[in-house]
A and B are shown apart, each in its own frame.
Chain A
């Protein structure tokens, strides 16, 4: 271990010399540790990158470590950063969660790396703190909206809904046909948030300055009618009895299977689920389509978008140059190709020169138009404001199970948000 570290250091310093001499394409050598979340796609992607990188640089040794996702993962990342035991390169969320890991103190700035020239500004803005950029995109951009089962839509002759009313009418017809209209999977509580989070395009359409006011403690979910709609939509769907019978015990994997095989007609989810469908039920990949969560008016119909997770370099890494070179490889068109090869296409890339393969699944091609037009998409709240309350998922499970109504849930969430804002030391709270 010490020996490899030493070699890594030597390798890195030689590299520094070579770089200054202008030999940019020099082969790397040394040891790199990587920490990645345990999503099957994340592991597959990272392993493919590591293999491809090692093929180009045979003298590099790479160890990939896996951590849980969700709150458990937040803990591990924060603790390892605080104790200086972080891997050289690690993947983690961008946006509000990124702000919570104290980037200026823990991460190596990547602002001046040449690869940043090809990264989209919208992505850079969600991995920046104190004027420095710290990350590179780990995956393509995502949308939050509603997956639908194409065979069910064909069988019942349904149209893609452009308003919430049309969506609920479709649900009625699906229910009348004896099928599950809306899939909910509360065994993985985070999945309960989608109706509220993906409604944010519709919130911004009515209150363009909601995010700034929210951060400044001036706008609240409970008192803003537009923001409250997301909570109400979940309540409406729950009260209409559209959910699958085992919604309280079903898991995210169950939901992915159900939407693909037609056990349910709609599943509100982030588009990264496309990768999970491709992985677990590949035969049904073409049976799944996608649309944005409809608002109350057909005039404004657009997608709430999510920035992908990011890869970061820990500040105290033993081999900063090797780490940076590996990150640059991930954020290159070549890296995108490796990813396409490994897990398929799940959305538009954030890196210039990256291209999707010709034959993308229908759920991806359904999503792409939203990214092309101006005003067709808006970022989710967590990329516009550092404030996100941790109990939203449990609160929404309560709404979904009918033990709390939308208005009191929104008020409770506002209370939850206050804690996060205070913890971040924001002004005005």
Chain B
């Protein structure tokens, strides 16, 4: 601050402070105002409202009751477990499938450019549209998937109506939709690996498998950590696809924290759902910060 006030004339460049910040402080104010109005103010307001019983018309301060209620919520434990399952399954599959697709799409195959765009295309489609489409495809009796299976004499399961299966069906659709992004990140990571390593490996007589396992995999670790972080956070706060496909159902079988929070909001428990958002924020921080630190540390040891 003091450095910027000193910088009255642009000619004074002697002190280090001025070199660090060549612009006056008020240059930051537009951004600061936007950030304060749109981010800081709502964040602190929501911290306050999470401590109240709020009807939108008036708010009564009730201390930590909302958090106690939210954590007592019978569906919440299920929602918590589901959230973690969903995040692990989707990010795991995206890493494995994305890497395999990227390896395939960086090798010399026919119609490579076309296949790359085919893989990436679902990323561009609206999530809700994808959700509705797959809900129709996964209809237990009239859906195209089960009708296709019926041709081979297989009775397909109720993809979205079987309580044990619904969450995984949604996760699979999430992978179908999101794997294109993981593939692109991996393609960028793979082409950045210098050819020299592969030549050296070939001279040493490495098999293609050894090439992949000892050269490709370790050297695309930055891409892997990006994919894991992005898809894991995405999986933790997932909402749109689940809501479009099952609304957390059947019953509470595919509820995640985000859908539990939304249902509280829908029911008019505004204070309670705000408290839920604070819980979700803490959960993401608790899971993702150590994960990122772990991934970055490994990267440093390369």
Residues of A at under 8 Å CB distance from B? 71-72, 74-75, 78-79, 82, 100, 102, 105-106, 186, 189, 245-249, 390-391, 394-395, 397-398, 401, 403-404, 412, 415, 419-420, 422-423, 425
Contacts and interface: CB of A to CB of B under 8 A. Distances in A.
Interface string B122-164: 0000000000000100011110000000000000001011110
B268 A245 contact: no
A71 B266 contact: yes
Closest 10 CB pairs of A and B: A248-B161, A398-B251, A390-B267, A71-B266, A82-B56, A246-B141, A397-B251, A102-B57, A403-B163, A401-B250
A398 B250 contact: yes
A186 B249 contact: yes
Given A245-B140, A419-B69, A419-B272, A401 B252 contact: no
A71 B163 contact: no
Contact of A404 (B60, B251, B263): B251
Given A249-B139, A423-B55, 5 more contacts: A248-B250, A401-B161, A401-B250, A423-B268, A423-B269
B267 A420 contact: yes
B159 to A, nearest CB: 9
21 contacts: A71-B266, A78-B56, A78-B268, A102-B57, A186-B249, A186-B250, A189-B247, A189-B249, A247-B161, A248-B161, A248-B162, A394-B75, A394-B249, A394-B251, A397-B249, A401-B163, A403-B163, A423-B53, A423-B55, A423-B269, A425-B60
A246 B57 contact: no
Contacts of B248: 394
A102 B268 contact: no
A398 B252 contact: yes
B140 A249 contact: yes
Nearest to B266: A71
A71 B268 CA distance: 9
A186 B57 CA distance: 33
Contact of B251 (A249, A403, A420, A422): A403
A249 B140 CA distance: 7
Query: Which label, helix, strand, loop or mixed, suits the secondary structure of the A interface?
Result: helix
Contacts of B8: none
Contacts of A71: 263, 266-267
Interface string B175-194: 00000000000000000000
B15 to A, nearest CB: 51
Contacts of B253: 403
A256 to B, nearest CB: 17
A102 B55 contact: yes
Nearest to A390: B267
B250 A395 contact: no
A75 B142 CA distance: 33
B135 to A, nearest CB: 8
A382 to B, nearest CB: 14
Interface in B233-272: 247-253, 263, 265-269, 272
Contacts of B139: 246, 249
Given A72-B266, A82-B56, A248 B140 contact: yes
A267 to B, nearest CB: 18
B74 interface: yes
Contacts of A245: 140-141
Contacts of A102: 55, 57
Contacts of A74: 266-268
B57 A390 contact: no
A390 to B, nearest CB: 3
A420 B141 CA distance: 38
Contact of B56 (A79, A189, A391, A403): A79
Contacts of A401: 161, 163, 250-251
B68 to A, nearest CB: 12
A249 B160 contact: yes
A258 to B, nearest CB: 12
A245 B263 CA distance: 28
A394 B266 CA distance: 14
A249 B55 contact: no
Contact of A246 (B140, B263, B266, B268): B140
A391 B75 contact: yes
Contacts of B252: 394, 398
A391 B269 CA distance: 12
Nearest to A404: B251
Contacts of B163: 398, 401, 403
A346 B139 CA distance: 32
A75 B265 contact: yes
